[in-house]
Amino acid sequence: MPRVGVLALQGDVREHVAMLERLGADVVRVRRPEEFAAVDGLVIPGGESSVIDKLTRIFSLAEPIREAIGRGMPMFGTCAGLIMLADRLVDAIDGQQTFGGLDVTVRRNAFGRQVDSFEGQVQVPALGEDPVHAAFIRGPVVEKVGPDATVLAALDDGSVVAVEQGSLLGISFHPEISGESRFHERFLRRVAAQG
C-alpha cells in the first residue's frame, strides 16, 4: 500500500489515521515539510480552516502543499479540508488563504453552528448504490462549481457536498467519524495509481 500523510496540525487527525490504517495504508502524521516530502498523498482533516491555514504557513507547509497539488499529488479534504482545497471562499476571515486546486467556491460553516450538526444519508453514485452515512459538523457547502470540477454528491435541497477534480477530492462531511470507508478507499486507489 502507498505511504500517505494526514496533515496533523489541528483537527480530527486520529480518526483519519485509524481509518487509513484499517484499510492497510502506511500512514505518516505530517507536521513538517520533511514528513510531507515522504508521502505520496495527503488527507486534510476537518477542524478549523483558519487555524489550519495559519499553522501550515507557520510550519512552512503551505507552499510545499500548493506545489504538490500543482504536480498532481492526490489529496482528500474533509470539511475544513474541503475549504483548504477550494480556489475561492465565501465568509473567509480577513487574510485567510487556501491551498486551492478545486475549481469551486465554498462557504464556510454553511450548516450553522456546532449545535446545528446533523447526520444523514447521501447518495454518491460514484461510490455505488448504497448511500453514504454522513456526519455534518459546522460543514461547508460548495456554492459554485467551475467547469473543471465534478459534483459527486448533493443534498436533496441541491447543496453540493462532494466534489472531485483530477487527483483532488473534497467533501463537506466526516466519513472518518461515521465509519464510512469508501471515500478513503477511493483516495487510496488514486494514490496507488499515481505510484
Looking up residue 79, the CATH number of its domain turns out to be 3.40.50.880
Report the catalytic residues: 79, 174, 176
Helix (H, G, I), strand (E, B) or coil at 17: helix
Nearest to 76 by CA among 3, 6, 159: 6
Q: Where in the sequence is the domain holding 66, given as residue range(s)?
A: 3-194
Nearest to 25 by CA among 14, 40, 8: 40
C-alpha cell at 139: 460543514
Pinpoint the alpha helices (H) of the chain.
13-22, 33-36, 49-58, 62-71, 80-85, 175-178, 182-194
Cell match 502543499: residue?
A: 65
Query: Residue 69: which residues within 8 A CB-CB, separation 6 or more?
Result: 75, 85, 99, 100, 101, 168
Cell match 473543471: residue?
A: 148
- Rounded Cα distance between 131 and 125, Å, is 8
CB 109 within 8 A of CB 77: no
pLDDT tens digits, the chain, 195 residues: what are they?
789 999 999 999 999 999 999 999 999 999 999 999 999 999 999 989 999 999 999 999 999 999 999 999 999 999 999 999 999 999 888 899 999 999 999 998 756 555 456 678 999 999 999 999 888 877 889 999 999 999 999 998 899 999 999 999 999 999 998 889 999 999 999 999 986
Q: How many domains does the chain have?
A: 1
Sort strands 42-44 and 102-107 into parallel, antiparallel or unpaired. unpaired
What's the gap between Cα 146 and its chain centre? 18
